Structure 1
């Protein structure tokens, strides 16, 4: 090819799925030197690459780049977490968020409960005296179930206590607190549709944070 035809012009092509600029001659044909074509990913870049012409394809064969997702705000992230844990809840469901807190283990303890039914909400914050954190978690569940006036509606208990959920739903054998666990299981048997949902504590789920606040507030009030 004559040098007079070798001018610095470029056309859009595809290389390994990526859009590139390939150097061409005056006729917009690939400019091949020593069996290679000069390409750039960006015309403003200083560095260049030489590739075999058969490795270049038309521009429309490039793989479209995926758009980056916009960063989630903390509020949006928390809303998505709440939406995920409340997916497929039955209609007319009573939601209960429970938490137990202990200042020391054992130590002064409190329970926090948030009951939600439709637009109605009820909060319970109660000091239970000296106890372990596990006892406080279980007691919160027991008090919440005792508070319900109807057992014909579906009930979902949200708790961040793996210990409590394991004892009450996975047939773990309690090494301590046997009477408390037995009492709760007896209560559970009175409901037509009751199940537990594990949530992560202190992860921005508003209702769980409310239950935690009610539990820790109960300790402070009890020590006054």
Structure 2
């Protein structure tokens, strides 16, 4: 299997508000940038979208390391929260529905077939690729045509 690194970040101007995602894929000496913008979204949705866009770009099963500065994304996966939410009909507890179900469903489906290691990195710190993803996400909000965000 090919080994791929996916660096991700999401940004939002207001929460909710206009948002963007930035993703950098690394495979050996090759790098690819992905970015885009959405209207009336949230930071957590953009963090998820950054991972989704990275996984969508893979053409075959890979050994993937996903780097994210989002505790929401990394903890939900590594601590099994999203698995429990799905098993309970997307409920966080007896009264509270999970958020961003549409994106979690996409992410889980895209993750199938890959072997993924999830790594949390401190945002706005020393990780060159996380900082690059942040710039891509912020620039996308300012410069890209925004798509409507249609959460469940």
TM-score class normalised by the smaller sequence: 0.7 to 0.9
1:210 aligns with 2:132: yes
Q: Deviations over 1:95-151 (max 9, x none)?
A: 110000000000000000000000000011211222010000011111110011121
Return the alpha-carbon distance in structure 1 between the equivalents of residues 113 and 2 of structure 2: 18
Any idea what SS the aligned residue of 1:93 has?
strand
Larger Rg: 1
Any idea what SS the aligned residue of 1:138 has?
helix
* Uncovered stretches (5+) of structure 2, i.e. residues with no partner: 86-91, 93-97, 147-152
Return the alpha-carbon distance in structure 2 between the equivalents of residues 154 and 207 of structure 1: 19
The aligned counterpart of 1:167 is: 76
The aligned counterpart of 2:26 is: 116
Higher relative contact order (CA 8 A, sep 6+): 2
Shift of 1:222: 3.5
1:158 aligns with 2:67: yes
Structure 1 residues 126 and 223, CA, compared in 2 at 3 Å: closer, same or farther? Answer: closer
The aligned counterpart of 2:100 is: 177
Moved over 2 A (4+): none
1:221 aligns with 2:121: no
Q: Deviations over 1:38-80 (max 9, x none)?
A: xxxxxxxxxxxxxxxxxxxxxxxxxxxxxxxxxxxxxxxxxxx
Aligned 8 A contact 1:167 1:181 in 2: no
TM-score, with normalisation over the residues of structure 1? 0.56
Return the alpha-carbon distance in structure 1 between the equivalents of residues 110 and 77 of structure 2: 11
Q: How does 1:33-112 map to 2 (within 5 A)?
A: 92-112=2-22
The aligned counterpart of 1:27 is: none
Instruction: Say which of 44, 50, 72 aligns to 1:134.
Output: 44
Return the alpha-carbon distance in structure 2 between the equivalents of residues 190 and 93 of structure 1: 13
Return the alpha-carbon distance in structure 2 between the equivalents of residues 118 and 147 of structure 1: 16
Q: How does 1:183-194 map to 2 (within 5 A)?
A: 183-191=106-114, 193-194=115-116
Shift of 1:197: 0.6
* Uncovered stretches (5+) of structure 1, i.e. residues with no partner: 1-90
Aligned 8 A contact 2:7 2:129 in 1: yes
Aligned 8 A contact 1:138 1:180 in 2: yes
